[in-house]
Amino acid sequence: MSQITHPNIVDGWFKESATMWPGQAMSLQVVEILHHEKSLYQDVLVFQSTNHGNVLVLDGVIQCTERDEFAYQEMISHLPLNSHPNPRKVLVIGGGDGGVLREVVKHEIVEEVTLVEIDESVVRVSKKYLPAMALGFEHPKVKVHIGDGFAYLKENTGSYDVIITDSSDPVGPAESLFQESFFDLMRKALRPGGLICTQGECQWLHLDLIKQVLTNSRKMYPVVEYAWASVPTYPSGQIGFVLCCNEEGREIRKPIRSFSKEFEDTKLRYYSSAVHASAFVLPTFARVALESR
């Protein structure tokens, strides 16, 4: 059996290839390439790293590592869920690695969570090589639909309390998930008092894109906020979240539901009620840029 190779791995090191952060690239040392395929939608790579466990890469961009994935998964899930008083039905668009599902089902109040992932290969590969994340698929409250998020939303208006869009960057199959029309479809798929939370890029690199998404969202939602978290293997070590609510006056910046301290200390590794509130405090350069009209 021939050894697996990949153009982004040279001399034992993986180096990201991306156009959205020119002049910089994350590099990780590789122990072994575990999987590589060209799916119907993207290049899918999994390798074992020396210090970050197994790593999932789509189209040359790191999606998650076993070492730091919990920061992103917890924040994109618990920020919106703890901003809703009664989140019974949850929709996850993207998130084929299962990490968001794992976090959503930690909320006992949730009755049903549906994942819509366009690329079945991400689900299949994650179940094999990212088992601690793919745990989410095993929960009885979880339903999985392999298909297009746009089409699914059009067929499920007024159906969900919380919608979480765990997308890759706005290139390739995820490009449409940053468009105004997609945010409008999510709005229509919400129940009264519903929230959406989407991956919101990096304030060090993408302020213009973030500002445009926030501006477009404010045309449709009465409450729009931006939060962030530290994830070392994401570009510039930071990722943001766009949260929108269809209920005027809803408080998102502080949790209206919370976990016990014991739960936070034993079941979570990044998110807490205190972190929730602090996530909306932006550095001055980002706050000024995003507040300007």
Residue 161 annotated to the active site: no
Bridge partners, 226 (sequence order): 242
Residue of 166, 169, 208, 265 marked catalytic:
166
User: Angle at which helices 180-189 and 207-218 pack, to 10 degrees?
Assistant: 40
Kindly give the pairing relationship between strand 9-10 and strand 223-230.
unpaired
Amino acid at 239: I
Rounded to whole angstroms, the maximal C-alpha distance in the chain is 61
CA 232, 199, 143, 252 torsion: positive or negative?
positive
- Closest by CA to 85, choosing from 293, 247, 240, 229, is 247
Strand 160-166 vs strand 89-94: parallel, antiparallel, or unpaired? parallel
Active site positions, annotated: 166
